[in-house]
Structure 1
Amino acid sequence: MPVAPAASLRSVRTLRGPGPLGAQVPGSGGAYWARLLPLLAALACVTRLPSFRWPLWSPDEGYLAVQARILAHGGELYETVVDRKPPLVPWLYEGSFALFGDSSLLPLKVLAVTAQLLTAVLLASLARRRWGDGAGRTAGVLYLLISIGLNPQDAQAATFEIFMLPCTAAAMWCADRRRWGAAGVAVACALLAKQTGGAVLLPVAWLLWRDGASRRCVARIAAGLCGPVLAAALLTTPSGFVFWTVTGSGAYASFTGSELHVLGRGLVNALVLAGACAGIVPPVVRVLRVARTGAPELWLWLASSAAAVLLGFHFFGHYYLQLMPPLALLGTAALQILPRERTARAIVATGCSCAVFLAWGFLAPRPDLAHAARLAEAVESRTGPKDKVLVWGIHPETYWLADRAPASRYLTAGLLTNYSGGRNGPQVGEKYAVGGTWPVFREELRRHPPTLVIDDSRGKPYGPDRVPSLRRILAEGYRPVLRVEGAVVYARVGRGGEGEGAVRGG
């Protein structure tokens, strides 16, 4: 259908925004937020309700919980406990455990609700500044409705991406208001929550360039960005910080091995997210056919976020959370030039999708968590509080559930075999481990042999039969004493004779 010139001009003007970086919308800000904040807070609480159903939702939460316990007892990040992630979220877990105890993730789940609410508020403020009061309400509501539009294990877990998102939104909010130093700090916080959070620097840099990119402004954003990152490196171990967050993940980021498996996962997660955005995608596509100009910083934000999802070639569902803030803003922008009833229809469609994901969250079973809990019970019954154990698997939550310290700084077999990232093909094994890990691992077990070793590989390609060093350690000092749903529990030989008995089922 042909579009009237006036409508086309209005399309371009609306998508671009009312000024160079958006003009302040007149009106009573206090009254506006007094009405909108309770709505967004209630919606954030409702959409995150499933997160409270289980003690934890994903191995990442288990990893963070174990890290935080080690740090609370004097451990050092990137030394006595390691991960490929920056330090901000482990520190957040550590702080929560210091204030509220380490037996529950409930405070972290509440913080995750707060993080999602803050993200929605920042997006609402961005949209309101550009397109008016109604657009602000639309952006905040749309974001919260799509925010759980993935597998519940990805969307409901209180992990890296959830705490990264308000930082990315804050970076755009500050850049939109020419607060370049604060924008740099926000980009740094996003980067320190997860490396891919730094992708928001691209749209921030575009806004800086569009504003003139004076030396003073460039210096401010550079100082804001570099200061927190350097401080984090100095507060940990600079060499360890660089290795574990940047240079030591070459094998992890490789595309080789399990290509079809990984691409299939990426396609499925993309389709799941598209279903969650059922109310947003059609307006955006419709508007693109009318006005292709649009707000370039929003498209750059989406493109840089998509590049971050692709980085590493793993396509886990929680990676896709990074796409949701720019999608919500682009959907809001598109709805501004369509008839008003289209906004209501978009929100209703998105709300219906949200209801499906909400039900999924309440009904989804957690067989992996149940298995980890049964393993934890077996470990707890066979060890004392001061005993150390080794769980050879990819579910570090077993340590946390059993309240037992790990015997190694490497909390999963993935770091020692490259099974991390869902690889299930030829690129898994001892020779594909993170560089330098096996000598350290062998020395840890030699100095402080674990009381129990739990082989939780259950037929996966990182089992002891494919890892010669681990097979040798088990053969020389351990005997199997128990099976728990396919996992084999090994006890150290000579410890009260426990390692001499036959294997018992469980």
Structure 2
Amino acid sequence: MSAPPLRTVTTRTPASVAVPAPRPAVPRPAGRPASGGRLRWSRLLPLLAAVALLTRLPSFLRQVWSPDEGYLATQARMLAAGGSLYDTVVDRKPPLLPWLYQGAFALFGDDSLLPLRVAAVFAQFATAALLAAVALHRWGPRAGWAAGVLFLLVSLGLNPQDTQAATFEVFILPFTVAAVRCAERRHWAAAGLCVAAAALTKQTGGAVLLPVLWLLWRQTAPGRRAPAVRRTACGLVLPVLGAALATEPSGFLFWTVTGSGEYASFTGSEMHVLLRAVASAMLLSGAAIGLLAALAEAGRRASSGCPAAGGRAPDLWLWLVASAVAVAAGFHFFGHYYLQLVPPLVLLGTAALAALPPVRAVRRALTTVVPCLAFLVWGLLAPRPELDHARQVAAAVRARTPAGARVFIWGMHPEQYWLAGRTPASRYLTAGLLTNFSGGRDGPRVGEKYAVRGGWAAFHEEMRTGPPELIVDDSRGKPYAPERVPPLRSLLRARYEPVATVDGAVLYGPRKG
């Protein structure tokens, strides 16, 4: 009698044992625990939109928040009047944000920054939603909720002038987070495109390329890395080349890369700059105190053998370090530079919260809410002496010149051109471009010889071919005062005379006779 045929026996894994899904040769950068539910985007997105609007509410209460806004608004008007970027309209920044301002003014008029304020709200909302998506992918739904909301709160944690202005850092953040999100999903061309968009908004946005390349290396099998690198490079390089060709290639290269050597020097007012660096770091640390405490506690638990989600995300640490280098680039440490630290810091803090017991995680998260609400109140009640001064000067310029008049304002507040509604007589909208003065730098590297290359020759030609109907000396005792800048002093003595003084600013009209 023959034996019965053998039957294949299939064994089932108990439900309590997790069976990993098929993975590529290289694992994902961070594990994701059991989610315990699904993230309901239909609930989260309206919440993020409401919190984004709440945290940006102070921005709608002031006509201009910072000189950067004034510079961009004045640039946009000059471009609309036929100016050429990196030729007759210049700045050390890439072109995307000047173009955004120009487009907003073309659609909605150039008398208000309200459209840009709304765009900044959308940028914050987009950044929060993308961070929620990254956290959801890595640590589950609760982490998604935490990352989105905490980002919006921690983003308040600096001087309101730095957080509420619709300027460069606010608009690079969604691109940087999108680059990381695309990279972790292996969309390499899209990741490169997002890095390019961040760098074309502000050069330091390109720092996110480092975590993107780390993810590419970790998630791509050795035989597929070369095609992935090519796709990333195409996504990155082609938009930059397009921007250069759309402006003026040599001017684009000079103003965005090679022409800022003196500006990026550490020499001059070192103590002032270091104090600013420490003050901004302390402000942001105060806003993120709960996340920093969670990171410290998760680190202690990891050293004793407990899991620490943040430790399994080296790409996030690399992102944070690259962003810190970007903050330090140029050695100015303005407060708004620190906004670039917030997305990776929030993700690392969210990972740390996910590694803590639920009660302690909630307590740490709530610790962050209170100081951030204090920053919101600060933004609502912040004094505005420089805006009041700019308005007084602008009113005096309007009163002494006809519409369409060309004027030249020697100072660091280009918003005065925009508020006055008058055409700049020079492409150099701040004294900093012709003296290297910036952010309180008053050391030995301020003066005529530290101007951008070719600056004074171009300035003299502007004054010869289109002399301004009014010159405003708004130096108010700063190191770039005309008596310390011989070319300007000679121009004023030869062709102009004082006609009025407004809140410390001296107005000069053409010399009679």
TM-score (norm 2): 0.91
Alignment partners' CA distance in 2, 1:91 and 1:26: 42
SS in 2 for 1:70: helix
SS in 1 for 2:289: coil
**1:256 corresponds to:** 267
Alignment partners' CA distance in 2, 1:465 and 1:317: 31
Alignment partners' CA distance in 2, 1:232 and 1:427: 32
Report how far residue 96 of structure 1 moved: 0.3
Alignment partners' CA distance in 1, 2:139 and 2:63: 41
Please say if 1:381 is aligned against 2:392. no
CA contact (8 A) 1:252 1:421 kept: no
**1:174 corresponds to:** 182
SS in 2 for 1:249: coil
Report how far residue 294 of structure 1 moved: 2.9
Counterpart code for 1:102: D
Match among 105, 118, 128 for residue 113 of structure 2: 105
Which consecutive residues of structure 2, in runs of 5 or more, have no partner in the other structure?
Answer: 1-25, 304-310
Alignment partners' CA distance in 2, 1:444 and 1:378: 23
Match among 292, 296, 307 for residue 281 of structure 1: 292
**1:366 corresponds to:** 384
Please say if 1:201 is aligned against 2:209. yes
Report how far residue 148 of structure 1 moved: 1.1
Report how far residue 22 of structure 1 moved: 5.3
- What are the Cα deviations for residues 438-463 of structure 1, in whole angstroms up to 9, with x where unaligned? 00001101110000000000000000
Aligned-residue RMSD, C-alpha: 1.5
Please say if 1:139 is aligned against 2:144. no
CA contact (8 A) 1:21 1:177 kept: no
Counterpart code for 2:347: L
CA contact (8 A) 2:31 2:312 kept: no
Q: State the number of aligned residues.
A: 477
**2:460 corresponds to:** 442
Alignment partners' CA distance in 1, 2:326 and 2:239: 21
- What are the Cα deviations for residues 253-290 of structure 1, in whole angstroms up to 9, with x where unaligned? 00111111100110111101110101110010111223
CA contact (8 A) 2:30 2:313 kept: no
Instruction: Rate the CA distance shift 1:27–1:286 in 2: closer, same or farther, 3 A.
Output: closer
**1:148 corresponds to:** 156
Alignment partners' CA distance in 1, 2:30 and 2:185: 8
Please say if 1:416 is aligned against 2:424. no
- What are the Cα deviations for residues 87-145 of structure 1, in whole angstroms up to 9, with x where unaligned? 00000000100100000000000000000000000000000011111110011011011
Please say if 1:428 is aligned against 2:446. yes
CA contact (8 A) 2:132 2:143 kept: yes
SS in 1 for 2:125: helix
**2:416 corresponds to:** 398
CA contact (8 A) 1:387 1:451 kept: yes
**2:362 corresponds to:** 344
TM-score (norm 1): 0.92
**2:482 corresponds to:** 464
Match among 85, 89, 96 for residue 97 of structure 2: 89
Please say if 1:158 is aligned against 2:158. no
Counterpart code for 2:200: L
Structure 1 segments, 4+ long, off by >4 Å, are 21-29
SS in 1 for 2:507: strand
**1:353 corresponds to:** 371
Alignment partners' CA distance in 1, 2:213 and 2:300: 28
Which consecutive residues of structure 1, in runs of 5 or more, have no partner in the other structure?
Answer: 1-17, 498-506
Counterpart code for 2:504: G
SS in 2 for 1:390: strand
**2:192 corresponds to:** 184
SS in 2 for 1:280: helix
Alignment partners' CA distance in 2, 1:350 and 1:492: 57
Counterpart code for 2:146: T
Alignment partners' CA distance in 2, 1:182 and 1:65: 30
Please say if 1:42 is aligned against 2:50. yes
SS in 2 for 1:491: strand
Match among 49, 63, 71 for residue 55 of structure 1: 63
**1:473 corresponds to:** 491
Alignment partners' CA distance in 2, 1:78 and 1:422: 26
CA contact (8 A) 2:27 2:219 kept: no
Alignment partners' CA distance in 2, 1:237 and 1:326: 35
**2:20 corresponds to:** none
Instruction: Rate the CA distance shift 1:92–1:369 in 2: closer, same or farther, 3 A.
Output: same
Match among 227, 234, 241 for residue 223 of structure 1: 234
**1:266 corresponds to:** 277
Counterpart code for 1:321: L
